[in-house]
Amino acid sequence: MRKAVLVTGASSGVGLALCKRLLEEDHELHLCLACRNRSKAEAVRAALLASRPLAEVSIVQVDVSDLQSVFRASRELKQRFQRLDYVYLNAGIMPNPQLNIKALFSGLFSRKVIHMFSTAEGLLTQEDKITADGLQEVFETNVFGHFILIQELAPLLCHSDSPSQLIWTSSRNARKSNFCLEDIQHSRGQEPYSSSKYAVDLLSVAVNRNFNSRGLYSSVVCPGTMVTNMTCGILPPFVWTLLMPIIWLLRFFANAFTLTPYNGTEALVWLFHQKPESLNPLTKYLSATTGFGSNYVMTQKYPEEEILGNSIMDLDEDTAEKFYQSLLELEKHVRATIQKRNHQS
């Protein structure tokens, strides 16, 4: 049987590069593109099939910042598939990123300059907003919409005879200091992207704790520092042009500068070939690129050290479980709200 792979945010950036690389690895996959914009998804599907005609490529329209859309897409997927072998939870946003000039110049003259550029720690703030579901947009898009998708697709993912795998696109920018259990949506802070990615790390650990016995495993990946649609808006184009020679030079000192979505998918593709039950649930896998452009996979030990051996994320399972329970409570609340809204209409 064909392996069935679902990729959210598949029409651009890391998601698109991942789809191309997965079909290079297994040209008979059933690849399902989960995208917000159907016309873009149709164009991507046509291009993928043109290069890999033996593959099966389908589309499901879903906007993870809209729970009604997530529920609709889940119903559609359960009608189409008997199981999903891999789900890449990749869709995400970093709205209106603003550069902290003071932090930038402060970091330029410190010993942490390379770390600062490779993680963007303290450099970026974002303007968040409330969605139609009454949730913070970054939290709903990057975390909660995907959480609901997993909950809905559990019948397709939980098979003890053959495990399924969730693979999250996280970030080196996931900082414990930006996350708070009392404000999981980061409504009172200025770095919702960092908070959401740390929340993803917590959720992955909690999924393993609650679902491994049912045959579902979860891992997190950082694709590295790339120039994509998400990052291009941080600086004017001419500044990027000026910075690129410096960034290329920095690659000889910091392997986080993958620069392209293709390079950024290295760890995502590597996980496609691993037995999930053999992986450390507390490890984050990093796509890395040498100064000469060779790609490889590393693991991360927080807060700053990156090493080749096994290492763990800067979190504890108790916090992960508490966060998971908070999501379950929020799920009950939003389901009740949506049912009430639908009943009134």
Q: Which residues are catalytically annotated? A: 193
* Angle in degrees, 0-180, between the axes of helices 145-157 and 317-344, rounded to the nearest 10: 100
For residue 224, the Cα-to-chain-centroid distance in whole angstroms is: 12
Tell me if 135 sits within 8 A of 68, measured CB to CB. Answer: no
CB count, 10 Å around CB of 293?
Answer: 12
CA distances from 123 to 97, 103, 104, 288 (A): 10, 6, 6, 21
Q: Which of 217, 205, 211, 222 lies closest to 166 in space, CA to CA?
A: 217
| Whole-angstrom distance, CA of residue 89 vs CA of residue 285 | 15
Q: Which residue has the tokens 């005609």?
A: 53
* Sign of the torsion angle spanned by Cα atoms 42, 8, 20, 273: negative
Q: How would DSSP label each residue in 125-167? A: E----B-TTSSBHHHIIIIIHHHHHHHHHHHHH--TTS-EEEE
Beta-bridge partners for 226 = 259
